[in-house]
Chains A and B, each alone.
Chain A
């Protein structure tokens, strides 16, 4: 009986560590963001940013999100792969990465225009919050 309880508890731990079924949702959110950037639909792109990322962006230029985004040259490369861990996710692009997090309203972009620096250091991102 005790062995059963221990086994069930261990199984629950292992299941909790599995990559959630959120991968398609993250991929959709990342592709919508990249699509908005490719179409130059910056108000749509701004709507997909997390509150903190949008505030950070607006704070850097003291202008609106759309104007601030227009001054950046974000890549419109395709999403090549997605990894999800808990309520955090990364969408790899052909030439960089997006980072996303899950909120009540769904997956939002927390960092964009990110380029790899090194294994020890964070990505260098044009937008982050």
Chain B
């Protein structure tokens, strides 16, 4: 058990933080939602009702989609774009999908390579892009969930303000949808840009996300 916790500490730590943050968000969100309900002379919700509400769902989904977009984009863009001196970038002469030998696929697969790395054909093509496909799919599903839950929450607000509800197409062209979307995207893009450039000049001793402390600023693609 202790060995399992040690070997999976990174994933378990962030999953635990996720749950704690979701609980905190739901408690704060419920308080804010019920406060607005009271001001409008409407009924308040219980904690369970709020967890199943479109208001909570859209707040969660809009953040999820932007996180998965960030990682999906980062995975794809770092195949082709580099940042000289950054541990977040690969070496400048390795731009592109790289050779089969470098990627250990096809005839270059090793005995301990994943099975689909050496099978060729569609399975190898899919497995070679499975991380990006999975992250990209979760991004699209989260964004879809945001649009559906967001429309429900928006329409509830519309009705409470004596206005007509909107269609799904009406909602995805609304300021509410794009405001929620872009306010999350801009923060993700800022964080990635900052990490890519800060990693050139700054260090975090012991972290694989940083170069070794003594590595030169010109060293690209080296992780500590």
The reply to whether A102 and B43 form a contact with Cβ atoms under 8 Å apart is yes
A86 in the interface (beta carbon within 8 A): yes
A50-B41, A122-B162, A123-B162 known; A12-B148 Cβ under 8 A: no
Q: Which of A17, A90, A129 is B165 in contact with, Cβ under 8 Å?
A: A90
The reply to whether B162 and A103 form a contact with Cβ atoms under 8 Å apart is no
A51 vs B40: C-alpha distance in the bound complex, in angstroms? 12
A23 vs B155: C-alpha distance in the bound complex, in angstroms? 15
Mask of A1-30 contacts with B, CB within 8 angstroms, 1/0: 001001101101111111100000000000
A9 vs B150: C-alpha distance in the bound complex, in angstroms? 15
The reply to whether A10 and B141 form a contact with Cβ atoms under 8 Å apart is yes
Query: Which residues of the partner chain A approach B212 to less than 8 Å between Cβ atoms?
Result: none
A75 in the interface (beta carbon within 8 A): no
A87 in the interface (beta carbon within 8 A): yes
B68 CB to closest chain A CB (Å) equals 9
Query: Which residues of the partner chain B approach A129 to less than 8 Å between Cβ atoms?
Result: 41
Query: Which residues of the partner chain A approach B53 to less than 8 Å between Cβ atoms?
Result: 16, 86
The segment out of B54-62, B72-80, B96-104, B185-193 that lies at the interface is B54-62
A105 vs B57: C-alpha distance in the bound complex, in angstroms? 26
A102 vs B45: C-alpha distance in the bound complex, in angstroms? 11
A68 in the interface (beta carbon within 8 A): no
Question: Which residues in window 101-129 of A have CB below 8 A to B?
Answer: 101-104, 110-111, 114, 116, 119, 121-123, 125, 128-129
- Taking each of B53, B144, B165, which has the highest tally of chain A beta carbons within 10 Å of its own beta carbon? B165
Query: Which residues of the partner chain A approach B163 to less than 8 Å between Cβ atoms?
Result: 119, 121-123
The reply to whether A86 and B162 form a contact with Cβ atoms under 8 Å apart is no
A37 vs B206: C-alpha distance in the bound complex, in angstroms? 76
Query: Which residues of the partner chain B approach A3 to less than 8 Å between Cβ atoms?
Result: 134, 138
B210 in the interface (beta carbon within 8 A): no
Smallest CB-CB separation from A104: which chain B residue? Answer: B43
The reply to whether B141 and A99 form a contact with Cβ atoms under 8 Å apart is no
Query: Which residues of the partner chain A approach B155 to less than 8 Å between Cβ atoms?
Result: 83, 85-86, 88
A10-B142, A85-B155 known; A17-B57 Cβ under 8 A: yes
B164 in the interface (beta carbon within 8 A): yes
A116 CB to closest chain B CB (Å) equals 8
Query: Which residues of the partner chain A approach B42 to less than 8 Å between Cβ atoms?
Result: 87-88, 101, 103
B106 in the interface (beta carbon within 8 A): no
A89 in the interface (beta carbon within 8 A): yes
The reply to whether A99 and B41 form a contact with Cβ atoms under 8 Å apart is no
Smallest CB-CB separation from A105: which chain B residue? Answer: B43
Q: Which of B60, B138, B156 is A85 in contact with, Cβ under 8 Å?
A: B156
A32 in the interface (beta carbon within 8 A): no
13 sampled A-B residue pairs with Cβ under 8 A: A10-B145, A13-B149, A16-B53, A52-B41, A83-B155, A83-B165, A89-B159, A101-B42, A103-B42, A116-B164, A119-B163, A128-B162, A129-B41
Closest CB pairs A-B (n = 5): A88-B159, A86-B156, A52-B41, A85-B155, A17-B152
